[in-house]
Amino acid sequence: MQPLNRVDGGAIPLGLKNVDTDIIIPAKWLKTISREGLGAGAFETLRAEPGNVIDDPAYAGAPILIAGDNFGCGSSREHAAWALGDLGIRVVIAPSFSDIFSGNAVKNGILPVVLPQDAVDRLMDIARQGEPITVDLETLTVTTPYQDRFAFTLDPFRRDCLLNGLDEIDLTMARDAAIGAFETTRTSDQPWLMRGTAI
Amino acid sequence: MSKDVAITPNPMDAIMASRPRTLYEKIWDAHVVETRDDGTALIYIDRHLVHEVTSPQAFEALRVAGRPVRRPELTLAVPDHNLPTTPRRDANGAILPIADPQSAAQLAALEVNAPAFGIRYIPATAKEQGIVHVVGPEQGFSLPGTTIVCGDSHTACHGGMGALAFGIGTSEVEHVLATQTLLLQQSKSMEVRVNGDLGPGVTAKDLIMHIIGQIGAAGGSGYVIEYRGAVFERMSIEQRLTVCNMSIEAGARAGLIAPDAVTFAYLKGRPMAPAGADWDAAVAYWRTLHTDDGAAFDKSVVIDAATVEPSVTWGTSPEDVVAIGGRVPDPQDFADESKRVAVRKSLDYMGLTPGTAMTDVPIENVFIGSCTNSRIEDLRAAAAVLKGRHKADNVLWAIVVPGSGLVKAQAEDEGLDRIFTAAGFEWREPGCSACLGMNPDKVPPGERCASTSNRNFVGRQGPGARTHLVSPAMAAAAAVTGRLADVRLLGVTSNP
Ligand code: SF4
């Protein structure tokens, strides 16, 4: 995974609440067996509207997306994170995120930044003026050219993974002995739990 | 790692055991392999359901890394999302090809990947095939007290069995396949306590929609919900699965109902459920799985069952719920500006005018199916309304998609299929179908659908489709009257 330390640049002021993952990437794009190329389908319905904010040339290449409450709700499809990544988005700022989406985002090198609604409103204004926003994961701050400075939090494990581009599977594989010990105890205490389909 | 992280096996085991705990805490504690200093826990996963849409990239990554599946017997694979619901064999019994090449390739990938990694695979043509969340409980694969995951957000459904079940993304699917664990932060706990009784004609679906309307689509974010109260104790497993299924629509990753005698009776004798001495040991353990007296929840919501009416949605978020006797709301009625904007957009998409009575909204399509409402009781409830009736002329398309081949066979044994077809419904093969409009079953643009599924998102049932979520009985009532209708006024008294 590509490490993420600091992201500097324009932001797309989407601003909508309850942006579900069906909006981020509609079902017809889920027939793929690859992670690539999903940017083409990102926000397809929204982008069918003339003058939509995603395709507005003013925000071309912006690495930040600003949205309303409950961003990424609905379906667990990781295709949503892949599609945003393919669009070049590295940071999403919103007052809240769905649990599943924020996990998927981090695993794909995308940082979910939770800020209060008034901070998000302020950043929406800055974005609309075409001014850049800086998101710094080292210092856990979002800053603007107008001296705004908003602090955010991220759980230390996710922060560590993002800063260092760590792969969770590698980390867990290194704990093989602990998992094995758990399974041994389980197999002797509750063998029926370990049978699964092999009953 | 950037720094060394100390790891302690099962911290505070002794203390945990003596303090009153919620059901969620008990299941969580029983699955902690170890806890990192930063609070992240490595949680053992007991059961993993895999379908064709969110797994190909995970299997491919395993293949590239040369990693095996750690415990293949703890994973069960079945195709559902992308599968057409038209007949799967011709008159001679030969398997019919799938027309859409991309869908065919995705389904073929699962058919190859599952056996290649040693995972039990239920083929599309088997009678056990169905929607993952119908198949898991039906096969006895989903058990009380287990951790269950699937690359699908409605995995919350299995909470109806007393399991801690939640949806995961594809990277996590890969993580579980490779390690049989997940790295998780413990969620907060929320109690949704429902007091009193549901009125006649008010179902589990109406109740969970009402609850989502009360707490909001993000109200459960960061929480695991436990549904408590005598209403849930009286529910069948089918009804409990319906309730827990939609927990995710309130933002909660999981929903739980404590297992009890109803759960045990449902599971006994199922193909993958424990048997013999195992069964007795399992039941003894399951009896300990309830929230202790005095255990604290981080949040409590209390609902009076008597206030719940048959529910319908008017908008494009599952929180946009109103009683069937209600009206389309006015954006001005909402205090929050961003919600006013959202409501205006929703009403525009839905083609609805504020103040319209919900029962004046005409319907062109009816979908009975999905992991929320495609089990035998759901089909019985719809058939009870449809018996001796026919869909209205303005209803152009009405389909019933049973949740599994076993549900379909049972319904046919009970003669329900004939009631549906006589009422003008199509009787289909099992799968997700028009719940997500990935296969050919889609609601045409601009048309409305009374749907027993769980999401009324923009474009969910097809581009431009307008979804009104309802219970199976209410979907049948909409079919018969050609508009959203209060099933209680149709005078249905008995089972079909
Ligand atoms: S029926 Fe719908 S909600 Fe359920 S698993 Fe299938 S697509 Fe998901």
Residue B278 half-sphere exposure, CB side, CA atoms within 13 Å? Answer: 18
pLDDT surpassing 90 at residue B12: no
Quote the pTM value.
0.94
pLDDT of residue A1: 83
Residue B2 half-sphere exposure, CB side, CA atoms within 13 Å? Answer: 13
* Cβ-proximal residues to B11 (8 Å cutoff; 6+ apart), any chain: B32, B35
Lowest mean pLDDT among A155-159, B1-5, B26-30: B1-5
Tens digit of each residue's pLDDT (9 = 90 or more) over B260-297: 999 999 999 999 999 999 999 999 999 999 999 999 99
Q: Is A199 exposed, middle or buried (0-12, 13-18, 19+ CB in 10 A)?
A: middle
Phi first, then psi, for residue B427 (nearest 5°) are -110, 110
Please name the member of B153, B273, B275 whose beta carbon is closest to the beta carbon of A74.
B153
Q: Spell out the domain ranges in chain A.
A: 6-166, 167-199
Q: Is B351 exposed, middle or buried (0-12, 13-18, 19+ CB in 10 A)?
A: exposed
Class level of CATH domain B310-490: alpha beta
Which residue does chain A place closest to B41, by CA atoms?
A: A157
Q: Read off the pLDDT band of B245 (50, 70, 90).
A: very high
E strands, chain A, are 6-9, 11-13, 64-66, 91-94, 111-114, 133-136, 141-143, 149-151
Mean pLDDT within A69-91 = 96
Tell me the residues of chain A between 27 and 86 that have a Cβ less than 8 Å away from chain B. Answer: 27-28, 30-35, 45, 68-70, 73-79, 81
Q: Read off the pLDDT band of B491 (50, 70, 90).
A: confident
Mean model confidence pLDDT for chain B: 95
Locate all alpha helices (DSSP H) within B44-131, ordered by sequence: 56-65, 101-116
Q: Which of A50, A113, A42, A117 is nearest to A81 (CA)?
A: A42
Q: Spell out the domain ranges in chain B.
A: 47-302, 310-490
Mean pLDDT within B392-411 = 98
Annotate B472-495 with b (16+ C-beta within 10 A) or e (fewer): bbbbbbbbbbbbbbbbbebebeee
Phi-psi group of B300: left, alpha or beta (phi > 0 → left; psi -120 to 50 → alpha; rest → beta): beta
List the single best residue of B50, B57, B141, B454 to mutate versus A (max A Cβ within 10 A).
Answer: B57
Mean pLDDT within B475-496 = 88
pLDDT surpassing 60 at residue B8: no
Tens digit of each residue's pLDDT (9 = 90 or more) over B350-390: 999 999 999 999 999 999 999 999 999 999 999 999 999 99
- A6-166: CATH number: 3.20.19.10
Mean pLDDT within A113-119 = 97
A177/B contact by beta carbon, under 8 A: no
Q: For residues B34 and A78, what is the distance between their CA atoms, to the nearest angstrom?
A: 27
Q: Fold match between B47-302 and B310-490?
A: yes
For chain B, first and last CA: distance in Å?
Answer: 62
Q: Read off the pLDDT band of B17 (50, 70, 90).
A: low
pLDDT surpassing 70 at residue B495: no
- Distance set, CA A134 to CA A12, A57, A124, A137, A156 (Å): 13, 20, 13, 10, 20
> Do A108 and B40 count as a contact with CB atoms less than 8 A apart?
no
Q: Read off the pLDDT band of B494 (50, 70, 90).
A: low
Are A77 and B171 within 8 A, CB to CB?
A: no
pLDDT of residue B259: 98
> Do A172 and B272 count as a contact with CB atoms less than 8 A apart?
no
Mean pLDDT within B438-462 = 96
Tens digit of each residue's pLDDT (9 = 90 or more) over B319-342: 999 999 999 999 999 988 888 988
Q: Which atom of ligand 1 is nearest to the CA of B374?
A: 1
Please name the member of B171, B248, B339 whose beta carbon is closest to the beta carbon of A104.
B171
* Cβ-proximal residues to A26 (8 Å cutoff; 6+ apart), any chain: A41, A44, A45, B459, B463
pLDDT of residue B4: 43
Residues of A in contact with B272 (CB under 8 A): 195-197, 199
ipTM: 0.93
pLDDT of residue A199: 78
Q: Which atom of ligand 1 is nearest to the CA of B435?
A: 2
Are B342 and B318 within 8 A, CB to CB?
A: no
pLDDT of residue B466: 98
pLDDT surpassing 80 at residue B14: no
Handedness of CA A58, A60, A61, A62 (dihedral sign): positive
Tens digit of each residue's pLDDT (9 = 90 or more) over B149-196: 999 999 999 999 999 999 999 999 999 999 999 999 999 999 999 999
Residues of B in contact with A179 (CB under 8 A): 33, 42, 44, 70, 179-181
Ligand 1: residue whose CA is nearest its atom 2:
B435
Q: For residues B128 and A23, what is the distance between their CA atoms, to the nearest angstrom?
A: 33
Instruction: Kindly give the pairing relationship between strand B41-44 and strand B32-36.
Output: antiparallel
Question: What percent of chain A is helix, strand and coil (3-state, nearest 5)?
Answer: 40, 15, 40
pLDDT of residue A37: 94
Q: Give the distance from residue A31's alpha carbon to the nearest chain B alpha carbon, in angstroms.
A: 6
pLDDT of residue B453: 98
Q: What is the CA radius of gyration of chain A?
A: 19
Assign domain B47-302 to its CATH superfamily: Aconitase, domain 3 (3.30.499.10)
> Do B458 and A23 count as a contact with CB atoms less than 8 A apart?
yes
Q: Could you tell me the strand order of the sheet in which B397-400 lies?
A: B426-427, B397-400, B365-368, B448-451, B466-469
Full DSSP string of B49-61: EE-SSSSHHHHHH
What is the DSSP secondary structure assignment for residue A31, as one 8-state letter?
Answer: G
Share of chain B above pLDDT 90, in %: 93
Q: Which of B258, B284, B266, B297 is nearest to B160 (CA)?
A: B258
pLDDT of residue B496: 55
E strands, A11-79, are 11-13, 64-66
Ligand 1: residue whose CA is nearest its atom 4:
B371
Which residues sit opposite B327 in a β-bridge? Answer: B357
> Do A74 and B222 count as a contact with CB atoms less than 8 A apart?
no
Q: Read off the pLDDT band of B1 (50, 70, 90).
A: very low
pLDDT of residue B183: 97
pLDDT of residue B336: 84
Tell me the residues of chain A between 137 and 166 that have a Cβ less than 8 Å away from chain B. Answer: 155-157, 160, 163-164, 166
pLDDT surpassing 70 at residue B30: yes
> Do A163 and B2 count as a contact with CB atoms less than 8 A apart?
yes
Which residues sit opposite B225 in a β-bridge? Answer: B190, B255
Tens digit of each residue's pLDDT (9 = 90 or more) over B104-162: 999 999 999 999 999 999 999 999 999 999 999 999 999 999 999 999 999 999 999 99
Q: Give the distance from residue B263's alpha carbon to the nearest chain A alpha carbon, in angstroms.
A: 16
Q: Read off the pLDDT band of B486 (50, 70, 90).
A: very high
